[in-house]
Structure 1
């Protein structure tokens, strides 16, 4: 797929993911990486090499145990397995850097896709071992630890941080029909109005 078409498809996925997240009524505020004001909250820099990276959607959760928590999400508007696994490895490295260097900016990391991937290891994707595997991919070991030697890079991984990040990872699979089976805007407005009245918003 040409680069421009990929960008359009990706931006559409981010907008759709944001709309779905908002419709759960558990998001107080959200934005995409194209938002004029808030996009910078999703932008970071790899420790080595100086290259930037960003997440697609971010925001603040509300209610229950997630009240006031910040989240950052990566959205893959894919209709096939494609190269999601490669991007997932990069994403866990992004999560590691963000949590290590900017902990206050993300309490949760969401991977939102429209197609499953790595189905044979699906139940192990949100584990510390997967975080470590992603960090040891050569390009990520170089960007995160400035190391080309895998054993040296492995020794630099903070195991407790990898465990912490794994506990904060969400793996969400959407579909076009599922996107329609959500609360209506009218009913969501009633909930928000009630929250405002009760001083919860």
Structure 2
């Protein structure tokens, strides 16, 4: 897929993921990384300074139950096939590690939202510390700068790996599934009720 088409697909995926999350009625607020007001707060630097800063596609605040007022960030892949998601996912895990290293209290949930399952033989491992560690190892120079291979294990902070692991979500959507949510009209009624009751 040419770069411009890939960018358009990415923007479309972020928009659609945002709409789906809002339609769950469990999102108090959501924004994309193109929102000028939030872009700065969603941008992070690689510790080594070797790469340009990065941001994830979505950010927002959940509401209700155990997730009330929890802050989330999400990366969205509107792919019709697995493509290179395994590679992109490892990069995402490394970014989550960097965010947790720099701002431990900034994000309560990291979501990977995709329209195509990937690495299916490892599906049950994708949300484990083993995979977080793989992502950090693959992007070790971006995170730690130059180091001897024998030093990498000691450089990785196990507590940060554990913090990222417990915050990971994997959400798989489909075009039809996006439609099987509460309607805008009913959502408006719920939001009106919440406002009147002082819930939001």
Q: For the superposition of Structure 1 and Structure 2, which TM-score range results when normalised by the shorter chain?
A: over 0.9
Determine the C-alpha separation between the residues in 2 that align with 1:74 and 1:43: 13
SS at match of 1:105: coil
Determine the C-alpha separation between the residues in 1 that align with 2:162 and 2:15: 30
Gaps of 5+ in 2: none
Asked if structure 2 preserves the Cα contact closer than 8 Å seen for 1:128 and 1:162, the reply is yes
Report the counterpart of residue 97 of structure 1 in structure 2: 98
Asked if structure 2 preserves the Cα contact closer than 8 Å seen for 1:141 and 1:150, the reply is no
Determine the C-alpha separation between the residues in 1 that align with 2:35 and 2:162: 32
- TM-score if structure 2 supplies the norm length? 0.96
Report the counterpart of residue 177 of structure 2 in structure 1: 178
Q: Say how many residue pairs are matched.
A: 199
Determine the C-alpha separation between the residues in 2 that align with 1:89 and 1:20: 24
> 1:7 deviation in Å?
0.6
Change in 2 beyond 3 A, CA 1:129/1:180: same
Determine the C-alpha separation between the residues in 2 that align with 1:12 and 1:53: 19
Report the counterpart of residue 20 of structure 1 in structure 2: 20
> 1:124 deviation in Å?
0.7
Q: Does residue 5 of the first structure (1) align with residue 5 of the second (2)?
A: yes
> 1:2 deviation in Å?
1.2
Report the counterpart of residue 43 of structure 1 in structure 2: 43
After superposition, give the CA deviation of every residue in 1:99-150 in whole Å (9 maximum; x if it has no partner).
111123211100000000000010110011110011111xx10011113533
- TM-score if structure 1 supplies the norm length? 0.96
Asked if structure 2 preserves the Cα contact closer than 8 Å seen for 1:31 and 1:39, the reply is no
Gaps of 5+ in 1: none
